[in-house]
Amino acid sequence: LNAASLADVLRPGAQGGSARAYRAAYHAAVVTGVAAVVAETQAEIAADWGSLVDAAVWLVVALFAVDLALRLGVARRIGPAGAWRSPMTMVDAVAAIGVPAALLAGLAGPEAHLLGLVWLLKLGRYAGGLTTLGRVVRNAAEPLVSVLIGFVIVLMAAATLAYVLEGKAQPEAFGSIPRAMWWAIVTLTTTGYGDVTPHSPLGRLLGGVVMVCGIAVFGLWAGILASGFVDEMRRRDFLRNWDLVAKAPLFRDLGADVIAEIARLLRRREFGAGAVVVRRGDAGSAMYFLMAGEVEVRLKPQPVRLNDGAFFGEMALISGAPRNATVVATRPTLLLELDVADFRALAGRTPPLMEAIYAAARDRGLVTPEAAPD
Ligand code: CMP
C-alpha cells in the first residue's frame, strides 16, 4: 500500500471504487457515532442499551483513529510541508482523541461521549457545498456585515422605544432596555413567541414596524447569500468550461475573447450510457459539443457514432425543422450545451466556427435555402 494510492483514496471527489467505499464507511461511522451519542441522552435508552452505545462509540473512535493515522501518514510522506496543520486535521485529531481523553480526565461515560458530536464536523471534508458556502460568506462579508449593523441599530431602537412606551405598565418585561431586548429580538426575527406583548396602542404600532423591519433584514440577508451562490457557481462553471473549450479542436483557434464568451454561454451536461440526448421529431432548442465520451446518431440504415470534438443538434437550429435523428449516449458522456438563442447571438460574431458548423450540417444532408451563413 503506497502513500500515493492511499492519498488518492482519501482525496475528496476521488472516483475509484475503494475511494467510494472509504467515503461510505467514513460517513456511516459519523452517522452511527452521532446517533449513539444523541440516543444515549434519553435515560431509557442509556439504561437498556448502554453497552451497545459504548461499543458503537468505541468502534467509531477506533475508526477515526485509523483515519487520522492514515491522513497524517499521507501528509507526512507526500503532502506539502505543513499539510497536516490544516483545520480539518484538528477536527480529525479531536474526533479520534476527544472522547478517550475526556474519559481519562475522569468525566462519566455519557458526558465524555458528548465530545463525539465533534464527529459531525468531519462531514465537512467531503461536502463540497460547504466549502462553497464558506467562500460565498467570505466574499459577501461586507454587505452581510452592513445588514448586521442595520439589524443591531433597529434592535436597539426597538428595545429603547419599547422601554419608553411600555416600561411603566409592564416593568417585568419592559422595565429596562436589556429586558425590553428580549421582546425586541423575538419580534425582529419574526419569531413572535407572544410571551411578552406591548399593550399600549403606540407600543403595538412599534411592534408592527419592528416586524416589518425584521422581514426586510432577513430578506436582504437571504438575497445577498443567494446571489453570492449564483456568482460562485457561475465562476466555477466558467473556469471548468474554459478549460474544456480551450482544448477542443473546434474552438482552439478562436481568440481568447471569443473562447471566454463561448465558455460563458455553454452549459455542462452529463449523460449516462443509454441516455437520450435529443429525440427525433422534437423541436430543436440547443446544440451540443461532445467533450468526452461517445454518442450514437440513430440513422437508418446505419447509425453513426460521434466522439470527442464532434458536435450535433445543429441541423434543427439552422433549419428550424424538427430533429432529424435520435441521439443517444453510448457511455458516460460529457457535453457542452449551446442554447438556440445563444447560437443565434454567436452566429454573427464567430464566422470560422459557424462556417464549420454549417459545413457539417450540409454534409449531413441539410437542404434548406437558409443553410448558408450570411
Ligand atoms: P438535429 O436534426 O438537430 O438532431 C439530430 C442530429 O443528428 C442532427 O441535428 C445532426 O447533428 C445529427 N446528424 C444527423 N445526420 C447525421 C449524419 N449523417 N452524421 C452525423 N450526424 C448526423
Rounded to the nearest angstrom, the distance between the alpha carbon of 50 and the centre of ligand 1 is 66
Global pTM reads 0.66
Rounded to the nearest angstrom, the distance between the alpha carbon of 348 and the centre of ligand 1 is 22
For ligand 1, atom 8, the nearest C-alpha belongs to 313
Rounded to the nearest angstrom, the distance between the alpha carbon of 326 and the centre of ligand 1 is 8
Q: Is 135 in the pocket of ligand 1 (CB under 6 A)?
A: no
Rounded to the nearest angstrom, the distance between the alpha carbon of 307 and the centre of ligand 1 is 13
Residue whose CB lies within 8 A of the most ligand 1 atoms, among 280, 287, 324, for a mutation test: 324
Rounded to the nearest angstrom, the distance between the alpha carbon of 240 and the centre of ligand 1 is 27
Per-residue pLDDT tens listing for the chain (374 residues): 688 888 888 888 788 888 999 999 999 999 999 999 999 999 999 889 989 999 999 999 999 999 999 999 888 888 777 777 888 999 999 999 999 999 999 988 889 999 999 999 999 888 877 888 888 999 999 999 999 999 999 999 999 999 999 999 999 999 999 999 999 999 999 898 999 999 999 999 999 999 999 999 999 999 999 999 999 888 888 888 888 888 888 887 788 888 888 888 899 899 999 999 999 999 999 999 999 999 999 998 999 999 998 999 999 999 999 999 999 999 999 999 999 999 988 887 778 888 889 999 999 988 765 555 55
Rounded CA gap, 89 and 72, in Å?
Answer: 8
Rounded to the nearest angstrom, the distance between the alpha carbon of 312 and the centre of ligand 1 is 6
Cell 440513430 belongs to residue: 298
- Do 246 and 252 touch, CB atoms closer than 8 A? yes
Nearest ligand 1 atom, CA 317: 3
As a whole number of Å, the CA-based R_g of the chain is 30
Q: Is 297 in the pocket of ligand 1 (CB under 6 A)?
A: yes
Give the neighbor-by-neighbor strand order of the sheet with 286-292: 267-271, 333-339, 286-292, 311-312
Count of C-beta atoms within a 10 Å radius of residue 280: 14
Beta bridge partners of 328: 276, 296
Nearest ligand 1 atom, CA 311: 11
Nearest ligand 1 atom, CA 297: 7
Q: Is 265 in the pocket of ligand 1 (CB under 6 A)?
A: no
Rounded to the nearest angstrom, the distance between the alpha carbon of 359 and the centre of ligand 1 is 12
Rounded CA gap, 132 and 55, in Å?
Answer: 36
